């Protein structure tokens, strides 16, 4: 069964683009990674559709345009595939 989680957006993590500092993106989990995500406080999604909805909701700007994505949580120091696991604060 394929599972998914949300992590810090790669455009920030790899390119240090400040427009993506608070943004998240979907990451497909490999074998055994779901337990690591849960131990960091992250969420594991059973379907890509559920992960896409969570990604969309988390990336909603905090203010009027041109506000940047501002996920209401934090990024764990635990990394999956080099990306920081997102922990939703809601």
Domain that holds residue 27: 3-88
Write out pLDDT tens, residues 46-61.
999 999 999 999 998 7
The answer to whether residue 66 scores a pLDDT higher than 90 is: no
Write out pLDDT tens, residues 26-46.
999 999 999 999 999 999 999
Structural domain tally of the chain? 1
CA angle 84, 8, 47 (to 5 degrees): 95
Q: Identify whether the C-beta of residue 58 lies closer than 8 Å to the C-beta of residue 86.
A: yes
pTM: 0.89
d(CA 75, CA 84): 6
Please count the residues of the chain. 90
3-state SS class at 20? helix
d(CA 57, CA 64): 15
């Amino acid at each position: 069964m394929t599972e998914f989680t949300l992590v810090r957006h790669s455009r920030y993590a790899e390119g240090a683009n400040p427009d993506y500092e608070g943004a998240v993106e979907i990451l497909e989990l490999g074998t055994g990674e779901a337990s690591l995500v849960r131990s960091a406080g992250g969420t594991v999604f059973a379907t890509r559709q559920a992960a896409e909805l969570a990604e969309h909701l988390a990336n909603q700007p905090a203010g009027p345009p041109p506000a940047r994505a501002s996920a209401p949580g934090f990024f764990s120091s635990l990394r999956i595939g080099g990306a920081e696991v997102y922990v939703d604060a809601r």
